[in-house]
Each structure stands twice: as structure tokens, then as C-alpha cells.
A and B are shown apart, each in its own frame.
Chain A
Amino acid sequence: MSSNSKVSYSEVKNNGIGFYGLLGIFGLFLLAGVVAFFTMEHNGHHISGMDNQIVWGLPHIFAIFLIVAASGALNIGSIGTVFGKKAYQPLGRLSGLLAISLLVGGLLILLLDLGRIDHVIMMIKGFHLNFKSIFAWNMILYGGFIALVGLYLWAMMDRSKTAKKLYKPIGISAFTWRLILTTGTGSIFGFLVARQFYDAAIMAPLFIVLSFSVGMAIFIMVLMSAYKWTNRELGDFVLNKLRYVLAVFILGVLLLEVTRQLTNIYATEHHGVEAFILKGGNIYSTLFWYGFILIGTVIPVFLIFCKKLKNNRMALYLAAALTTIGGFCLVYVIVIGGQAYPLVLFPNAEVTSVYADGVINSYSPSKWEVMLGLFGVALTLAMVTVGVKALKFMPVSLADSVVDPHS
């Protein structure tokens, strides 16, 4: 690529137990996921913890989380390409690979959780797509994302003139596409008029900033692990860039989520569900305050800005991990919390029925759902691992002398 002439890339050469051991662990999780899929497919969803009250469960949380992270992971590449920040350009390839892997992992979970996966083939063959449906649009957005990021990777990795010429336009298209994609994912909830917790246009921007922060966090963890395990050099220059960007994104999520909750509180009809989530003394308020706010926001921001921890790798890694956990908690609260709160058929009235009307629904995932969710994570990581082994995704060195234009 034109920019950093000093940077050279290579495949991962490791062949030892470490590499295959890693793949083996992922393989086990993949196998478990496949078993879960066949078991659920054969028995029906009654073996899951989901029911007709909580219709989307853990698989959907994992899937949405991974899909959101996917578009965020591409960000690092975009900063380099779209905004011309040279320091980020060496990271572009890995960010593209991670983005595709996250998306595929997330999508496969969604697919494997369907009630009639066999009907998906008919849907594609017969082109049964309802273009009023955000879901249908998302399928096109996801397909396009994979294709575009694929092209983007090619433009970064191919030495031909065409590739060099197309690098910038493709990078910009991929960036635009990913913004639309996350808007689409957020809108899955934004258009649900029936559910008090979802019905808001702010869902879309919230998902965009959330994608920035968790995508960045996951990228940092993958990058640090990969460089450590392959004994490649990773300098403070790169890490510090990522560190501060991460902090900005974390605060961005906080801002939007607070705005969302506040506007929700402002609307009288949403008082009930807001109180339920924010001070209900239940798992959702716990996950929100401790999971998202404390673990996912306050502590990472502290770890990043604390002067004593400057250049501390452990602190950064921990901050990234906590941000990821926090983001997951937030998605959990949104997906499950929003369903646990009963539908309001008659405002200002108590309703009861034999079918859980008017009661707070509870959800405890079965092992099958956990297996399906981890399947997606394992698939993502396995794809990245195989990817960096097969192709030149990783710069040989990211030492300060290589990437810092001032050194």
C-alpha cells in the first residue's frame, strides 16, 4: 500500500502447539454449537429457555452484539482510509478481517436459532423478501457489508495499480455502508411500537456509538493477543492512539444511552418501564448500573486516563475487556429487559391472565442457547486465527520506529 512504506506484512508463521491448541479450543466450541443447533432443530424451541413471552434470548444478544461490534471493528481501517490518518493504516487489514469475522459469527447465530432454517433457502430461491421489513433490509446490508469489506481488503492487499486507485473510494463506501448497517441493526428495535422500551429513533445512533466502542475494544484485545502470541513488536505509539479513541467512544455511548433514558423518562407512558430498568432492583437494573455504567464505562475510563497507568498494557487490555463486557450487558438489558416488562394493553390498569399478562417475565437461558452464542464467538475468533495464518493481514512489526512518523 502506498502510505507506510516502512510497514511490511506477513502471514503468521507459528506452527506450534499454541496455534493448533488455540484452534482446537475454538473447534470444541464450534462443535458444541453445532450439537446445540441440531438438538434444538430436532426437538423444537421448547428445550430452550425462550418462550412466547421472551421470544428473543441469549442467541440474539450474542448475535446483535457481534454484528454491532463488526461494524465497529472496521472503524480502525476507516480512520486510516477515510480520514487519512496514517498511523492507523497498518491496522486496516486486521480491522477488515475482524469485521467480516464478527459479522459472520453473529449472523450464523441468528440463522441457527431460526425456527425453520430450511425455509431460508426457499426464501432466497423464491426471493421472498418483504422490503418493508428492516430485517429484510438488514440481510441485504449484511451481504453487502461482507462483499464491500472483502473488496476493501483486496484494495489494501493487492499490489496492482487498480487496487491502489480504488483503495480510497472503496474505503469510503465501506465506511458509509457500515454506518447504514448499524443504523439498520438499531432500527430493528426502533420500530417496535408495541414495546415501551424500544420505540425510539435514538436506538439507531445509540447502536452506532456502541459499535464504535465495542468494536474498538475487541480490536484492541485481538491485536494485543495476536502480537503477544506471535512475538511481534507492538509499540506504545499505536496503543496510545487506540486507547484514547476507545475512551472517546465509551463516553459517546454513555452520552447517548443517558439521553435515551432521559427522553424515555420524559414520556409519561414510559415511566413504568424506566423505573423497572433503572431502579427495579432486578437483574436488569443490576446489569445496567454495575455492568454497563460501572464495569463498562467508569472503570475503563479510569484505567485509560489514570496518569499512573499510562503506557500500562495490562490496564489497556483490562479496559478493553471491561468495555466489551459492559457493552454486552447493555445489549442484554435492551433485548431481555425490554421484553421482560409486560406489554401494556390497558394503561392505568392491572391485568391478569393465565398467559402471563401483567407479570414481569423472567428468563434463564438453557445450555443450548449458551452453546449457540459461544459458537458465534468461537467462529469469529477461529476465522481471525486462520485468516492471519493464511494471508498477510498483520504487519511484521508495529514498533514505534516503524509506525510513528515522528520517530
Chain B
Amino acid sequence: MFGKAQNILATMTLLALASLMVGCGETAPELKLETAKAKTEHCVEPDDVMRRNHMDFIKHQRDETVHNGIRTSKYSFKACINCHIPAEKDGKPVNYLTDDHKLNPEHFCATCHAYVGVQLDCFECHSDNPAGAAPADANHGGTAHE
């Protein structure tokens, strides 16, 4: 009974998302993966696993954190950001979107998501940089730095 409604919804949302993407993703920005690459050896899982499954890890952790207060750092979204996004570049924070609302090639998430053409909405709510957080330590072992 939801089938039809779901289709209508899906179409509408696609339209909505498409409209939002107008102007932001026409050309994939050039990949700048140095920072990101430098971190891969320290990442919580091998990169092929991460590349394929990071969204599931984050999503699972998200429910655990929001509903059960589990704040281990291994798959924590904040930990991803703290590690993969530099605290600042040229004295400015590195944002997901540039000032003119294009995907920022300097931003780890943006650069890859632009490349594969997948829209993500994490940063509509979440901070896209380690703003004010303690400097990221690449070491994910043991204690929580949250």
C-alpha cells in the first residue's frame, strides 16, 4: 500500500536533490587526496573495506551513539573528520562546500563524493571540519577521544 506513495516520493526527492545539485556538481573537481592518502595506513579498516563500507560503519555507529550513548571512537563520525580533514588551511577551516557553494576539492569527503557523483547530506547538520576539537591523533587504539 505504500508502494505507489514510495515511488512518487522517490521521484520527488530525486527531483529535489537534483535541483539542489544544480551548479554544485557539474564538473568533478580535481582530486586532491594527499592528506587523505597519508592517513590511510592508520585508518580503522583497510582502505578497500573503508571505501566500500564506510557509510555502513558510520550509520551503525550513529544509531548506537544517538540512542544508546555509545561513544567509542572507532567508527565515530567525529573521529573521521578529526583525522581526515585538516584543522585549517591558509588560516581558514576546510569546509565541505566552498564559499560559492561548490564542492570543495580540498575537503576529503567532497572530493571523492564529487568524483563518484554521490550526494551526501551529513554536513547539512554535522560540522565538516575539526572545529575547535583537540588535534586529531591518528592512533585509533584504546581510549576514547570521542
**A interface with B by C-beta (< 8 Å):** 38, 41-42, 111, 117-118, 120-121, 124, 143-144, 146-147
Q: How far is the CA of A38 from the CA of B20 in the complex (A)?
A: 9
Across the interface, B2 reaches (CB within 8 A) one of A42, A117, A143, namely A143
The verdict on B6 contacting chain A, using a C-beta distance below 8 Å, is yes
Contact A38 B16 (CB under 8 A): yes
The verdict on B134 contacting chain A, using a C-beta distance below 8 Å, is no
Note all chain B residues with C-beta closer than 8 A to A41: 16, 19
What band does the interface of chain B fall in when counting residues whose beta carbon is under 8 Å from A?
10 to 19
Contact A118 B6 (CB under 8 A): no
Note all chain B residues with C-beta closer than 8 A to A120: 9
Note all chain A residues with C-beta closer than 8 A to B1: 143-144, 146-147
Contact B17 A118 (CB under 8 A): yes
Highest count of chain B CB atoms <10 Å: which of A42, A124, A144: A124
Contact A118 B121 (CB under 8 A): yes
Q: How far is the CA of A41 from the CA of B21 in the complex (A)?
A: 13
Across the interface, A124 reaches (CB within 8 A) one of B2, B12, B121, namely B2
A-B contact count (CB 8 A): 30
B82 CB, min distance to chain A CBs, angstroms: 26
Contact B9 A42 (CB under 8 A): no
Note all chain B residues with C-beta closer than 8 A to A124: 2, 5-6, 9
Note all chain A residues with C-beta closer than 8 A to B17: 118
Given contacts A118-B13, A121-B13, A144-B1, contact A38 B19 (CB under 8 A): yes
Q: List 17 A-B contacts (CB under 8 A).
A: A38-B16, A38-B19, A41-B19, A42-B20, A111-B9, A117-B9, A117-B12, A117-B16, A118-B17, A121-B9, A121-B10, A121-B13, A124-B2, A124-B5, A143-B2, A144-B1, A147-B1
Across the interface, A42 reaches (CB within 8 A) one of B12, B19, B121, namely B19
**B interface with A by C-beta (< 8 Å):** 1-2, 5-6, 9-10, 12-13, 16-17, 19-20, 121
Q: How far is the CA of A121 from the CA of B20 in the complex (A)?
A: 17
Note all chain B residues with C-beta closer than 8 A to A121: 6, 9-10, 13
Note all chain A residues with C-beta closer than 8 A to B121: 118
Across the interface, B16 reaches (CB within 8 A) one of A118, A144, A146, namely A118
CB nearest to A120 among chain B residues: B9
B47 CB, min distance to chain A CBs, angstroms: 28
Note all chain A residues with C-beta closer than 8 A to B12: 117
B104 CB, min distance to chain A CBs, angstroms: 20
Note all chain A residues with C-beta closer than 8 A to B2: 124, 143
A119 CB, min distance to chain B CBs, angstroms: 9
Q: How far is the CA of A111 from the CA of B9 in the complex (A)?
A: 9
Q: How far is the CA of A146 from the CA of B8 in the complex (A)?
A: 15
Interchain residue pairs A-B with the least CB separation, the first 8: A143-B1, A118-B13, A147-B1, A121-B9, A41-B16, A124-B6, A124-B2, A38-B19
Note all chain A residues with C-beta closer than 8 A to B9: 111, 117, 120-121, 124
Q: How far is the CA of A120 from the CA of B7 in the complex (A)?
A: 12
Q: With contacts A42-B20, A143-B5, A147-B1 known, what are 20 further pairs, Cβ within 8 A?
A: A38-B16, A38-B19, A41-B16, A41-B19, A42-B19, A111-B9, A117-B9, A117-B12, A117-B13, A118-B13, A118-B17, A118-B121, A120-B9, A121-B6, A121-B9, A121-B10, A124-B2, A124-B6, A124-B9, A143-B1
Highest count of chain B CB atoms <10 Å: which of A41, A42, A118: A118
